[in-house]
Amino acid sequence: MSVLPSFVLPDSASVATDGRLLVAGLDLLDLAAEYGTPLFVYDEQHLRARCREAVAAFGDRVSYATKAFLCKAMAALAHEEGMCLDVASCGELYVARAAGVPAERLVLHGNNKRDEDLSYALDEGVGRIVVDSFDELDRLDALVGAGRPAPKVLLRITPGVEAHTHQFVRTGQDDSKFGFTYSTGAAAAAVERARASKSVELVGVHMHIGSQIFAVESFPKIVEVIAPMVKPLGLPELCIGGGLGVPYVEGEGAPSITEWAAEIRQACERVGLDVQLSAEPGRSITAMATITLYTVGTIKDLPGIRTYVAVDGGMSDNFRPVLYGSGYETFLPRAVRADRTRRVTVVGMHCESGDRLVDGGLVPDDLQVGDILATPVTGAYGHSMGSNYNKVRRPAVVFVADGKARLVVRRETFEDLIRCDL
Ligand SMILES: Cc1ncc(COP(=O)(O)O)c(C=O)c1O
């Protein structure tokens, strides 16, 4: 018997008496019929609950990492729930501002912020800039020297701690493009320079060791590593970055945001670091709030080899399987508790053999063309990493709450595909 594990479903999920899945009281098949597929369905209560948990755990300067998923509705929601927003580009900054988020509540990241990015951020008056390099300090010297206000900054330190996660999302080791390396003395030199500088107001240090990390012991480790350098400085802020993992498939489990924060707080207490702690969770806010709905278009059975189930999306709405080999559960919203007896390979509709969404996905035996097939835990790094590859129109996004759906991102049109062409 292989029934979908219920932990992969959003907080407001329930099963109707006929076996169909509801989220916030809404039938997913009705949503697919109304808005079309592929469709991202976000459980708004789930999003809000995770934002509140983050604020309760880390305090007022905790940021939502918008790279996980961003549109105006998401930016506004995170802001309403009391989070700051981490923006990793001026595009993300623009969307957050367009959503009405005050610039003071934004934290700008990036390992290569250009003059125009920094000017934009300074002119808007962003709350914090996380400085990544000596070249960036040079640029800030020039921009502030030319009359712009000196920003509050944190320095991104690379602590030399390897997180147990996929190599593409590991950022804390010495061999990284990000930040000032601790072991080479670059971090100490950057601190010295920033403290002496009139172009920046140094308020703290920042670290981010990677993403999709289940082993929360990695976080206390980085606090211990940097404590000898940071403690004597008496800087008020320490941001521990994002990175808390979420379970995607049967057999995985992850600590809660509250547990994650408690581990880090205890580490700060152990080493005597008295700072305003903050963090930048992305995935742990949005991933599990979401289900993607697809329509099954073709089923190709290769006896003794595999069965390909092709859906109307693919690597353009979820690039993670191609990029990291990530796994997902699969199910049919029409029969969410059904025994999933058939092992299939769910593929997309792109002209790439590698365009696989789920390798070895389980589905009920009676799966057929025309079925709505769902992948849960798709709220982070799916829509945000999406593309127009093969000139596919990017999917719509709906937020559901209290029995109502609201379209927050409409499906792209053919006209959208040529709107930048001259
Ligand atoms: C600097 C920084 N902060 C926060 C995050 C968010 O990480 P996650 O979504 O794993 O919580 C990332 C993502 O890689 C990041 O690079």
Q: How confident is the model at residue 179 (pLDDT cuts 50, 70, 90)?
A: very high
CB of 158 shorter than 6 A to ligand 1: no
CB of 86 shorter than 6 A to ligand 1: yes
User: What is the predicted pLDDT for the residue at 165?
Assistant: 66
**Hey, which of 107, 208, 238 would you mutate to test ligand 1's pocket, going by the most ligand atoms within 8 Å of its Cβ?**
208
Pair of tokens at residue 258 = 């509250």
CB of 172 shorter than 6 A to ligand 1: no
User: What is the predicted pLDDT for the residue at 170?
Assistant: 66
State which ligand 1 atom lies nearest to the alpha carbon of 281.
11
- Cα–Cα distance measured from residue 193 to residue 140, given in angstroms and rounded to the nearest whole number: 12
The CA 254 to ligand 1 mean position distance, Å, reads 16
Nearest residue by C-alpha to atom 4 in ligand 1:
242
User: What is the predicted pLDDT for the residue at 166?
Assistant: 66
For 78-122, write each residue's pLDDT tens digit. 999 999 999 999 999 999 999 999 999 999 999 999 999 999 999
CB of 206 shorter than 6 A to ligand 1: no
Average pLDDT, whole number, for the chain?
96
**Residue 351 falls in the annotated catalytic set:** yes
Using left for φ > 0, alpha for ψ between -120 and 50, and beta otherwise, residue 24 falls in left
User: What is the predicted pLDDT for the residue at 169?
Assistant: 65
CB of 179 shorter than 6 A to ligand 1: no
- Cα–Cα distance measured from residue 321 to residue 356, given in angstroms and rounded to the nearest whole number: 7
Which 3 state secondary structure label does DSSP give 139? helix
Q: How confident is the model at residue 274 (pLDDT cuts 50, 70, 90)?
A: very high
CB of 286 shorter than 6 A to ligand 1: no
- Cα–Cα distance measured from residue 237 to residue 184, given in angstroms and rounded to the nearest whole number: 23
State which ligand 1 atom lies nearest to the alpha carbon of 213.
10
Tell me the average pLDDT across 8-24. 98
Task: Please report, as a single letter, which amino acid is at residue 55.
Answer: V
CB of 109 shorter than 6 A to ligand 1: yes
Nearest residue by C-alpha to atom 5 in ligand 1:
242
Contact criterion met (CB below 8 Å) for 30 and 334? no
Q: How confident is the model at residue 207 (pLDDT cuts 50, 70, 90)?
A: very high
Which 3 state secondary structure label does DSSP give 47? helix
Q: Classify burial at 412, counting beta carbons within 10 Å of its beta carbon; exposed 0-12, middle 13-18, buried 19 or more.
A: middle
**Hey, which of 67, 70, 167, 212 would you mutate to test ligand 1's pocket, going by the most ligand atoms within 8 Å of its Cβ?**
67
Distances (CA, A) of 291 to 23, 27, 42, 399: 9, 12, 7, 11
Q: Classify burial at 110, counting beta carbons within 10 Å of its beta carbon; exposed 0-12, middle 13-18, buried 19 or more.
A: buried
User: What is the predicted pLDDT for the residue at 384?
Assistant: 98
Can you name the residues that pair with 278 across neighbouring β-strands?
A: 239
State which ligand 1 atom lies nearest to the alpha carbon of 156.
1
Does 164 have pLDDT greater than 70?
A: no
Q: How confident is the model at residue 218 (pLDDT cuts 50, 70, 90)?
A: confident
Q: Where are the alpha helices (DSSP H) in 146-289?
A: 186-196, 218-230, 257-271, 283-286
State which ligand 1 atom lies nearest to the alpha carbon of 287.
9
Contact criterion met (CB below 8 Å) for 230 and 182? no
Pair of tokens at residue 243 = 């990175």
User: What is the predicted pLDDT for the residue at 175?
Assistant: 86
For 341-377, write each residue's pLDDT tens digit. 999 999 999 999 999 999 999 999 999 999 999 999 9
Instruction: Find, among 231, 237, 207, the residue nearest to 219 by Cα.
Output: 207
User: What is the predicted pLDDT for the residue at 161?
Assistant: 82
Does 234 have pLDDT greater than 80?
A: yes
H/E stretch holding 308 = strand 306-311
The CA 16 to ligand 1 mean position distance, Å, reads 36
The CA 107 to ligand 1 mean position distance, Å, reads 12
Would you state the torsion angle of the CA atoms of residues 260, 261, 264, 265, taken in this order, to the nearest 10 degrees?
-150
- Which is more confidently placed, 216 or 191? 191
Tell me the average pLDDT across 399-416. 98
Which 3 state secondary structure label does DSSP give 227? helix
- Cα–Cα distance measured from residue 225 to residue 406, given in angstroms and rounded to the nearest whole number: 46
Task: Please report, as a single letter, which amino acid is at residue 83.
Answer: M
Does 217 have pLDDT greater than 90?
A: no
Percentage with pLDDT > 90 across the chain: 93
Place of tokens 């080791």: 173
The CA 219 to ligand 1 mean position distance, Å, reads 14
Tell me the average pLDDT across 248-254. 95
Instruction: Find, among 197, 201, 204, 210, the residue nearest to 226 by Cα.
Output: 204
Q: How confident is the model at residue 1 (pLDDT cuts 50, 70, 90)?
A: confident
For 129-150, write each residue's pLDDT tens digit. 999 999 999 999 999 999 999 9
User: What is the predicted pLDDT for the residue at 111?
Assistant: 97
State which ligand 1 atom lies nearest to the alpha carbon of 206.
1
CB of 254 shorter than 6 A to ligand 1: no
CB of 170 shorter than 6 A to ligand 1: no
